[in-house]
Amino acid sequence: MTRWIDADQVAALLKPGMTVFIAGATAEPREIIAALSRHGEACAGVRFVSVCVPGMNGGNFTELHDDAQATAFFATPENREGVANGRIDFVPMNYRAIFDYLAQDVDIDTAILQLPPLGDGDTFSLGISADFSPTVIQKAGMVIGEINERQPSPADTQRFPVSGLHYAVACERPVPTFPPAQLDDTARVIGGHVADLVEDGSCIQIGIGSIPEAVLSALHDNNDLGLHSGLIAGGVMNLVKNGNMTGHKKSIDTGTHVTGVALGDDELIDWAGSTPEISFRPVSYTHDPGVIRQIDNFVSINSALEIDLFGQINAEMISARQISGPGGAVDMMRGAALSRGGRSIVALNATAGGGRFSRIVAALPPGNAATALRTDVDYVVTEYGARRIRHLSVRDRAEALIEIAAPEFRDQLREDFRAQHIR
User: Residue 422's pLDDT is what?
Assistant: 61
Q: What is the pLDDT of residues 160-203, one digit of tens each?
A: 999 999 999 999 999 999 988 899 999 999 999 999 999 999 99
Identify the weakest region by mean pLDDT among 9-13, 54-58, 141-145. 54-58
Contact 278, 255 (CB under 8 A): no
User: Residue 120's pLDDT is what?
Assistant: 82
Q: Is the pLDDT of residue 76 over 70?
A: yes
Strand, helix or coil for residue 136: helix
> Starting from the edge strand earliest in sequence, which strands make up the sheet with 3-5, in order?
3-5, 167-171, 142-148, 110-115, 19-22, 47-50, 69-72, 88-90
**Strands 123-125 and 159-161, how do they pair?**
antiparallel
To the question of pTM greater than 0.75 for the whole model, the response is yes
- The domains found in the chain, sorted by start residue, are 3-171 (3.40.1080.10), 185-421 (3.40.1080.20)
Distance CA 126, CA 130 (A): 6
Identify the weakest region by mean pLDDT among 20-29, 55-64, 374-383. 55-64
The CA–CA distances, whole Å, from 229 to 88, 159, 295 equal: 29, 20, 12
Confidence of residue 121 (pLDDT cuts 50, 70, 90): confident
Q: Is the pLDDT of residue 423 over 60?
A: no
Average pLDDT over residues 55-77: 94
User: Residue 266's pLDDT is what?
Assistant: 96
Q: Which of 316, 310, 289 is nearest to 300 (CA)?
A: 289
The CA–CA distances, whole Å, from 13 to 5, 88, 327 equal: 11, 23, 31
Mark 99-132 as b/e (b = at least 16 C-beta within 10 Å): bebbbeeeebbbbbbbbbbbeeeeebbbbbbbbb
Confidence of residue 124 (pLDDT cuts 50, 70, 90): very high
Q: Is the pLDDT of residue 59 over 90?
A: no
Instruction: Give the end-to-end CA distance of the chain in Å, rounded to a whole number.
Output: 71
Confidence of residue 293 (pLDDT cuts 50, 70, 90): very high
Q: What is the pLDDT of residues 241-282, one digit of tens each?
A: 999 999 999 999 999 999 999 999 999 999 999 999 999 999
Distance CA 373, CA 364 (A): 12
User: Residue 88's pLDDT is what?
Assistant: 95
Confidence of residue 388 (pLDDT cuts 50, 70, 90): very high
State the average pLDDT for the chain.
97
Confidence of residue 348 (pLDDT cuts 50, 70, 90): very high
User: How many other CB atoms are there within 10 angstroms of residue 172's CB atom?
Assistant: 11
C-alpha of 210 from chain center: 14
Confidence of residue 1 (pLDDT cuts 50, 70, 90): confident
Average pLDDT over residues 145-163: 97
Distance CA 315, CA 251 (A): 30
Average pLDDT over residues 327-342: 98
